[in-house]
Amino acid sequence: MAKSKLFVREDLIREIMSREDAPLVIVEKFEEYDDISDGWFGIHTLFLLGLMKNRASFEALKKLIKENDFEEWTTEELCHILANFGEEFFDDIAEIVMDRGYGIWNRDAAYRALLMINPNRKLKELSKNLIRGVDNEEEKELICLLIPRMMTFHDEEIYMMCKEFVKKHGSCYPVFHDYELGEMWEEEEEIENKKNLWEHFSKQNLCYLYKINYGKPKIGRNDPCICGSGRKYKNCCWKYFM
């Protein structure tokens, strides 16, 4: 998988998923394989572990996000990967939100995952505890990230607590003024839905990732395709680059 770099076939993913020792091997070999793969191994494994959805893959995922910086990948996709673990892992994901050992973008992603799984009473209580517990800059930044998410509850008490928070601590991204809070409260917040993680491994998505990272492939129409399918480029992925 590491050797195939960006383009990984679905059957290979399924084969890895069927192996019980996969999460362990991924964590053990992470750095070495990520170097070989031009950085794609790490990103692919986050999705793969999400698809596996078991205790071992959850623990591996936690370790990877705690010890590595996935930059914008964490903010955009991690919430969906965590949400895929489902209700059974609700308390485990809540622990990530509360654990100051994780970066705030990871904790924000975990919070978003909980909202997708089940925005229940437990999550309301957790939100209140987070706001009450702010005692440093990092916690303040986290609450600022979470305020727009918390508004989706439409809970009067949480709204008042957020208002108090902005008054007391001043503003930070993405809440700069307290009137913005009012706007968020009024607004019909769009609810995020879980994504199908297999979409990450679709040809269309992998070609899109190729395009934004490497530009259009500079190969002839009759050359073997960049995805490694063995077919000619003109009969394979060229359509995704048009």
Contact residues: Zn ion, CB under 5 A: 225, 227, 229, 236-237
Nearer to Zn ion by C-beta: 25 or 219?
219
Of 44 and 107, the one with the shorter C-beta distance to Zn ion is 44
Alpha helices in 133-228 (DSSP H): 137-151, 156-169, 178-186, 203-214
**What Cα–Cα distance (Å) separates residue 200 from each residue in 5, 118, 152?**
14, 24, 27
Residue 175 main-chain phi, psi, to 5 deg:
-110, 105
Cis check for the bond before 174: say yes or no (omega within 30 of 0). Answer: yes
The DSSP output letter for 192 is P
**Count of beta carbons in the 10 Å neighbourhood of residue 79:** 25
Shortest gap between Cβ of 214 and Zn ion (angstroms)? 14
Q: Residue 226 CB, nearest distance to Zn ion (Å)?
A: 6
Cβ 219 to Zn ion, closest distance in Å? 11
Partners of 232 in the beta sheet? Answer: 224
Residue 200 neighbours by CB under 8 Å, 6+ apart: 44, 47, 77
Strand partners, 224: 232
In angstroms, give the least distance from the CB of 239 to Zn ion: 9
Closest distance between Zn ion and the C-beta of residue 37, in Å?
18
Tokens of 40: 């794609």
Rounded to a whole number of angstroms, the distance between the first and last alpha carbons of the chain is 27
The smaller minimum CB distance to Zn ion, of residues 152 and 229, is found at 229
Collapsing DSSP to helix, strand or coil, 176 comes out as coil
Minimum CB–partner distance for residue 46 and Zn ion (Å): 23
Measured from the CB of residue 231, what is the shortest distance to Zn ion in angstroms?
A: 6
Instruction: List the Cα angle 51/56/59 in 5-degree steps.
Output: 95
Nearer to Zn ion, 185 or 241 (CB): 241
